[in-house]
Amino acid sequence: MLLLFFIVSLALSGVTLISGSRGLTRAFALAFSALLIAITVHAWFNIGNTELTWFTYDSTAVLLLSVLTLLTLPTVYHGFIYTSDDAVKRFNIYHSGLIALMTFMAGAYLANTMTVLWIFVEATTLAVAVLIYHDRTEVALEATWKYVFICSTGIALAYLGILFLGFIYGRGDAPSLSFSSFSHVISNANPLYLKIAFIFVLVGFSTKMGLFPMHTVTIDAHSVAPPPVSALISTTLMNVGFLAIYRVYTLFSGTPVLSFMNDVLILAGVLSLLIAAGYMLKAKHLKRMLAYSSLENMGLVAIALGTGGYGYYAALLLIVLHSFAKSSLFYQMGQLSRILHTFRLDESGRYMKLYPAGAMVLMTGMICILAIPPSGMFISELMIFRAMVVNGQWLVMALTVILLCYIIYAMSTRIMHVSFSSPRNESELLQPGHVSPVETVSQFILLAFVIMICFWQPPFLTDLISNSIALLPR
């Protein structure tokens, strides 16, 4: 089934590229969506099984694959709308790249060896580069080359860490070892080597996760990519980077370097919050503001993982809920740009009057992403603070709370300005565009799920997360 998925998906990406009509391209994109749904259902019925030797349907992989699948149809739908005025060639390139990107992300989630994971992560870099450059502007070209160069460098550093770990034991087959096999290789490892390997992995894959210190590449990519693509970059693609780091963290958690890894993750998380808070306070571009919000949430995930205990569950729950809340906001950015013809804060305003449905998405999304009750993200952040109290990490808790207050202020004032205030540069405004309220339905559904989690967590969700963190120390 998995082999069929990869073959058919890549074939669909290829025929989409050479398609002669928009209708065929749309059909191929919808066919891929159905195929991804099918492989996800197959994964649910085969949790714990391995296919093609290098892919395993473990709980973490199935959880993140399910998030990708739930976002596939709205991403494809909003992509149809965004590219509706493009030439057929550019329309085809966009959807071919989109199919390839989601295929590679699915492969990265399911990979059970570092080599296969590395291959798929690098493949996502090439696929997303095509999508970042979709609008063919100078800024898009600069962001594309920056993304390709920095991501490739980071991924090379990450793989160097794994090779370093394997070769110090004289294991020539280290690149092909599964994560479960690696657990036996490192049982008596020198802690210094493990620390070096973890630093390489964290720095390398932070290019994908959007975490300090390699966060800048994703910020620029968010700002210039089409909104549906930004929705994937800031959610499911960041989840790929998180998963790579999480795999290695889980692998090393039974060794003496656990406290070192926790300290490094907390430091990276706090610095991510600091940078996000600073830049959001002066953000003048709405998509860039959301990009820094993603940096903030990935920083919270790193802090949760480093805190341990309740933080493990909170990290995975936050990853899931952030994906739904942030993607809905980026989908809405595409509609906002069609109404206001800009992403600039000074040129935006009166959105509630011009497009009430879109403004309600912005307001609800703001509440959800800032973890204000009844957002389900409030539960995850509450669990993080609970873990800090249990561990006595009062300084980290104080810094986190202070930085989150700045972030809440920065985002809420900007969203309120866009929704209710008049634009600062009214003399330069264009005639407002028109968007059908039907287009916001997918966003309200995603946000409704985030709110529902505040009151009730489905048993299948809690079981998947609990099984994902079962091997971590308590």
Question: Is residue 285 helix, strand or coil?
Answer: strand
Residue 79, pLDDT score: 92
Closest Cα to residue 228, out of 331, 112, 320, 297?
331
Residue 38, pLDDT score: 95
Closest Cα to residue 237, out of 253, 221, 257?
221
pLDDT tens per residue, range 378-436:
999 999 999 999 998 999 999 999 999 999 999 999 999 998 988 876 655 566 778 88
CB of 429 closer than 8 Å to CB of 298: no
Question: Is residue 350 helix, strand or coil?
Answer: coil
Residue 386, pLDDT score: 94
Give the side-chain half-sphere CA count within 13 A for 35: 24
CA distance 94 to 97: 5
Question: Is residue 224 helix, strand or coil?
Answer: helix
Domain boundaries, the chain: 1-256, 270-474
Residue 44, pLDDT score: 94
Question: Is residue 51 helix, strand or coil?
Answer: strand
Residue 331, pLDDT score: 94
Residue 426, pLDDT score: 64
Residue 91, pLDDT score: 92
CA distance 82 to 227: 8
Residue 273, pLDDT score: 95
Tokens of 243: 């998963």
Cis peptide upstream of residue 213 (ω within 30 degrees of 0): yes
pLDDT tens per residue, range 156-215:
888 888 777 666 555 555 555 677 777 666 767 778 888 888 899 899 888 888 888 888
Longest CA–CA separation in the chain, Å = 69
Residue 412, pLDDT score: 93
Residue 167, pLDDT score: 62
Contacts 24+ apart (CB under 8 A), 51-54: 51/1, 51/2, 51/3, 52/2, 52/3, 54/111, 54/112, 54/113, 54/116, 54/178
Residues paired with residue 178 on neighbouring β-strands, in sequence order: 113
Residue 308, pLDDT score: 87
Tokens of 77: 């739908």
Residue 393: count other Cβ atoms within 10 Å of its Cβ.
20
Residue 407, pLDDT score: 94
* Helix%, strand%, coil% for the chain, nearest 5: 75, 0, 20
CA distance 370 to 110: 30
**Reduced 3-state DSSP string for 113-152:** EHHHHHHHHHHHHHHHHHHHCCCCCHHHHHHHHHHHHHHH
Tokens of 428: 């330069």
Residue 173, pLDDT score: 56
| Tens-level pLDDT at each residue, the chain (474 residues) | 889 999 999 999 999 988 878 899 999 999 999 999 999 999 999 998 988 888 989 999 999 999 999 999 999 999 999 988 888 899 999 999 999 999 999 999 999 888 888 889 989 998 999 999 888 888 888 888 888 888 888 888 888 887 776 665 555 555 556 777 776 667 677 788 888 888 998 998 888 888 888 887 788 887 888 999 999 988 999 999 999 999 989 888 888 889 999 999 999 999 999 999 999 988 888 888 999 999 999 999 999 999 988 999 999 999 999 999 999 999 999 999 888 888 888 888 888 988 999 999 999 999 999 999 999 999 999 999 999 999 989 999 999 999 999 999 999 999 999 989 888 766 555 667 788 888 899 999 999 999 999 999 999 999 999 998 988 887
Phi, psi angles (nearest 5°) of residue 178: -75, 165
Buried b (16+ CB within 10 A) or exposed e, 10-43: eebbebbbebeebeebbebbebbbebbeebbebb
State the DSSP string of 53-100: TTEE--HHHHHHHHHHHHHHHHHHHHHHHHTTTS-HHHHHHHHHHHHH
Tokens of 441: 């339905």
Closest Cα to residue 318, out of 363, 372, 273, 378?
378
Buried b (16+ CB within 10 A) or exposed e, 91-116: bbbbbbbbbbbbbbbbbbbbbbbbbb
